[in-house]
Amino acid sequence: MGESHIVSFITFSIMFMGTVANLFVLLAARKMTSMNSSFGIITKNQSVCNMLMCLIFMLYVGPIQLSNSTPLSEYSKYFGLAAMIVYEISNQLHLIIALNRLFAVFWTFHYDQIFTKFNTNLMKNIACFIGFSICFLFYDVLGCYFYYDTRTFTFTFLDSPKCDDITWYSDFIFNISLVALTLIINLLTAYRAGKASRSLLDAAGAQMSKEQRHRERSFIKQSFLQGMTIFSGQVTYHVTAPLVTNSVLLFLDASLWAFMHAFEGLLILLSSQEMRSVISKKRQSIASVFVLML
């Protein structure tokens, strides 16, 4: 099996799995009453971003890896621009979710005033506007195209001194700072929420249940893994990928930033027992209808 077949298989497998996982997250979130809130609005939009990234790689990058089609390659800068817009919006939505949790824990009495549905949609729209504006300016108007490179089997920025400087600050420094800030906020929120919960239980003379401890650990693990995955995607693309010579390993190194959108859907499903329960009930109801039809 040639390298093109290997990377195409990897791309399709990961992104198909990611599309399905994020679709399940979206469908479960739409069914959950707890997601009819500010947090739910952002979570559902985050799932849409993840699915869009998965679909771009599954339906465009995968086929072009396999066929090396010249007509497809001619449009790669537009698909690359779309992928970067989705990526930037996704990172900003992660920050909004982190701030949502922070206010819910630290400033509980002001939470409902700040994170109304109107304000949440406004924040979401601002994130979309900023993401689109940054990407359109740097990766289209200024000519630092994000195009498909046959050497790496994935998208890469145009190689020039000007574009190297622009992308170092507009992509690496900006996004890694955003991710680090999001991770710090999430861990701080988890620590404060856990401390407050234990204080209330101590005051009542009760002990934290196994379920509560599991939920707290799940939140910390999810926040940490999400942050580290996005952080690693930036580091591998800008720092370690240029040092790799093997084509398949180079592809994996340079594509981790995109693959994390697929992994995030799986991570949310693994961390949320409530979502898994909703999906399980949905599957059972579909199976029941199918049996009745037979």
22-34 pLDDT, tens digit per residue, is 999 999 988 888 7
102-113 pLDDT, tens digit per residue, is 888 888 888 889
Place 244 in a pLDDT band, splitting at 50, 70 and 90: confident
Q: Is residue 262 part of a domain?
A: yes
CATH code, 44: 1.20.1070.10
Ramachandran category for residue 143: left, alpha or beta (phi over 0 → left; psi -120 to 50 → alpha): left
Strand locations in the chain (E):
146-149, 154-157
Question: Alpha-carbon distance 219 to 216, whole Å?
Answer: 5
CA dist list (Å): 149 to 95, 154, 209, 224, 247: 31, 6, 53, 32, 12
Q: Is residue 149 part of a domain?
A: yes
How high is the pLDDT of residue 196? 62
Question: Alpha-carbon distance 59 to 50, whole Å?
Answer: 14
Higher pLDDT, 268 or 288: 268
How high is the pLDDT of residue 232? 83
178-226 pLDDT, tens digit per residue, is 988 988 888 888 777 766 655 555 555 555 555 656 665 666 666 777 7
Q: Is residue 65 part of a domain?
A: yes
The domain of 269 spans: 3-171+258-293
Q: What is the mean pLDDT of residues 26-51?
A: 90
Q: What is the mean pLDDT of residues 158-175?
A: 92
The number of folded domains in the chain is: 1
Is the pLDDT score of 8 beyond 60? Answer: yes
How high is the pLDDT of residue 282? 61
